[in-house]
């Protein structure tokens, strides 16, 4: 099961609110030429904040209570995977645009996520 309370709550909080923040985090790390480890740390923290929103507003599980640690950790991992995928997509799209615009004499854009060397 992917969601804990309801599908609508998962789509709104994790998909729209958290996904938008993750997308912008991915863009920011690409624009500052930061390494992937920086993105990983930011998404870990964003996921923790998102789990707190699930816990405080919708009575979901959080990581702190020992009786629900396994359940809370499972949903933390689910949220992390979704957020990291969206952040990586935002980072890759931004990086493809960067490579084509800043290094246009070397690279052409070959799709929304890739670039290739100019012939």
Q: What is the mean pLDDT of the chain?
A: 87
CB 65 within 8 A of CB 72: yes
Q: Which residue has better confidence, 113 or 40? A: 40
Number of helices (H), then strands (E), belonging to the chain: the values are: 4, 2
pLDDT value, residue 115: 87
Q: Tokens in use for 20? A: 């938008």
**Domain extent listing, the chain:** 7-84
Summarised one tens digit per residue, pLDDT across range 21-59 is: 999 999 999 999 999 999 999 999 999 999 888 888 887
pTM of the full predicted structure? 0.85
- pLDDT of the residue at 65: 55
SS3 content of the chain, % helix, strand, coil (to 5): 70, 5, 25
């Amino acid at each position: 099961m992917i969601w804990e309370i309801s599908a609508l709550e998962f789509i709104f909080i994790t998909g729209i609110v958290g996904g938008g923040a993750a997308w912008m985090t991915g863009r920011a790390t690409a624009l500052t030429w930061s390494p992937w480890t920086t993105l990983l740390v930011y998404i870990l923290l964003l996921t923790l904040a998102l789990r707190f929103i699930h816990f405080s507003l919708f009575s979901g599980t959080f990581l702190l209570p020992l009786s629900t640690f396994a359940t809370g950790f499972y949903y933390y991992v689910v949220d992390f995977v979704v957020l990291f995928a969206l952040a990586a997509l935002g980072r890759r799209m931004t990086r493809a645009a960067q490579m084509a615009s800043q290094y246009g004499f070397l690279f052409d854009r070959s799709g929304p996520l890739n670039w290739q060397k100019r012939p």
